[in-house]
Amino acid sequence: MSKAHVTTTVNGDPVEFLATPGMTLLDALRDELNLTGAKEGCGSGDCGACSVTVDGRLVCSCLVLAPEVEGRRVTTIEGMAQGGQLHMLQQKFLEHAALQCGFCTPGFLVAAKALLDVNPDPTETETRYWLAGNLCRCTGYDKIIRAVMDAAAELRQEKIA
C-alpha cells in the first residue's frame, strides 16, 4: 500500500507527512503531526469533536481524507491562542465555566470561531443551530452559548475601539 506525500499548511506552518490512502485528516493531525487537540468522538461526522477549518471552512476532520488537504490551509485548536494569549472565545469559555470534562471543547471553540468569522453578531438561535453539529454531554449547552455570545459582544466592542 503506497503512501501519498502531502504538503500543506497547518496553523500557518508548512508541514508534510505521508498518508495511507484511507487516512483521515484527523488521523494525520493526531498521529502524524502530534496535534491531539482535535478529538475523535465518533469517526462519522456526528459529534464535531474533531472540528478544524480547511481554507477557512469548518469541517469534521474525521470526514476529510488526509491527501485532500494538499496545498490547503488547515487551522486547528492549537492555532487559536496567539503568542501565549488566549483567544477571546477561549477566555470566555473559562469565565463562563462553559466546559466540564473539556473533551468537546476544542471542537466547540473551532466551530464557534468559524461562526464569528462569518457572523460577528449571531442571535442565540443562530448560535445554537451553528453549533448543533457539536455534541456536548456535560453542560446542557447553556454556558457554551452564553460564552460564545459574550465573546462575540466583546470582539465587536474591540473592533469599534
Partner 1 sequence: MSETLEKPAAAAVLNVVGTRPIRPDGADKVTGRATYGADFNMPGQLVGKILRSPHAHARIVSIDAGKARGLPGVKAVVTAADFPDLASEMHEGGEQASNLRDLSLNVMARGKALYDGHAVAAVAAVSTEVADAALALIKVTYEVLPHVTEVEDAMASGAPLLHAHLFTEGLPAKPASASNIARRHYNERGDIAQAFAAADVVVEQRYTTQAVHQGYIEPHACVAAWAEDGRCEVWSSSQGQFMVRTYCAKVLGREISDIRVTPAEIGGGFGGKTTVYLEPVALALSRASGHPVKMVMSRDEVFRATGPTSGSVMHVKLGATADGTITAAKVELKFQAGAFPGSPVGAACMTALACYDLANFTITGWDVVTNTPKVAAYRAPGAPIVAFAVESAVDELAVKLGMDPIAIREKNAVHNGTKAAYGPTFQNIGYVETLAAIRDSDHYKAPLGRNQGRGLAVGFWFNIGGESTAAVHIGEDGSAVVVTGNPDIGGSRASMAMMAAETLGLPVERVRPMIADTASIGYSMLTGGSRTTFATGMAVVQAAEQVVAELRKRAAKLWETTVEQVEWKGGQARCLDPAKPDKKPLTLEALAAQSGRMGGPISAQVSLNAQGAGPGFGVHLCDVEVDPDTGRVDVVRYTAAQDVGKAIHPAYVEGQVQGGVAQGVGWALNEAYIFDRDGKMENAGFLDYRMPVASDLPMLDTILVEVPNPRHPFGAKGVGEVPIVPPLAAVANAVRAAIGVRMPDLPLSPPVVLAAMDRRQG
Binding stretches for partner 1 (CB under 8 A): 1, 20, 22, 30, 35-44, 46-47, 49, 76-78, 80-81, 86, 90, 93-97, 99-106, 109, 124-125, 127-129, 131-146
Question: Would you state the cell numbers that stand for residue 25, as one nine-digit string?
Answer: 485528516
Taking the least distance from each CB to partner 1, the nearer of 53 and 134 is: 134
CB of 124 to partner 1, least distance (A): 8
User: What residues form DSSP beta bridges with 105?
Assistant: none
Q: What is the DSSP letter of 41?
A: S
CB of 116 to partner 1, least distance (A): 15
CB of 7 to partner 1, least distance (A): 23
Whole-angstrom Cα distance, residue 153 to residue 147? Answer: 10
Give the ranges where the chain is alpha helix by DSSP (H).
Answer: 25-27, 88-95, 105-118, 124-130, 142-160
Taking the least distance from each CB to partner 1, the nearer of 25 and 104 is: 104
Q: What is the DSSP letter of 12?
A: T
Taking the least distance from each CB to partner 1, the nearer of 71 and 137 is: 137
SS3 assignment, position 68: helix
CB of 160 to partner 1, least distance (A): 25
Q: What is the DSSP letter of 39?
A: -
Taking the least distance from each CB to partner 1, the nearer of 69 and 89 is: 89
